[in-house]
Amino acid sequence: MQIIGIGTDIIECLRIAQMIERHGETFIERVYTEHEIEYSSTKKSATQHYAGRWAAKEAVLKALGTGWRRGISWRDIEVRNLRGGAPVITLTGGAREVYEQLGIQKMHISISHCRSHATAYAIAEGEA
């Protein structure tokens, strides 16, 4: 196994809060999956969790080397959490197609946030 790609992203939580305030459910449902909405909206600091997931999606795109092209949508990248809380990435649609084309077998993700910022780091690992 080798590293095929890496990606990182940082976002101001205030920016996500403003997007939610300005566009409401339209923004949330365009960017986040049902599972992500359910998870984040139940948290005391929901904006930080939404921002963390935003950063994770951006980091994964960078690790895939695609940006927002090749038919990839926001909801093709989903962040879930294992029982212990560790985040994991699930890919569908265009993101899954690129993942398979590149021979990626595992996408590692790390997310961190505080009141002001959220950051994420992704590593794509596989057989080149």
- At 41-73, the pLDDT tens digits run 999 999 999 999 999 999 999 999 987 776 899
d(CA 31, CA 36): 9
> ∠22-25-26 over CA atoms, to 5°?
80
Amino acid letter, residue 108:
H
Catalytic residue among 43, 44, 62, 106: 62
- What's residue 128's pLDDT? 65
Q: What single DSSP character describes residue 102?
A: T
Catalytic residue among 43, 49, 113, 117: 113
User: Per-residue pLDDT for 127 more than 90?
Assistant: no
Active site annotation includes 106: no
Every domain of the chain and the residues it spans? 2-126
Output the CATH code of domain 2-126: 3.90.470.20
- What's residue 27's pLDDT? 97
- What's residue 8's pLDDT? 98
- At 102-120, the pLDDT tens digits run 999 999 999 999 999 999 9
34 phi/psi in degrees, rounded to 5: -55, -45
Active site annotation includes 62: yes
pTM of whole model > 0.85?
yes
* Residue percentage of the chain with pLDDT more than 70: 98
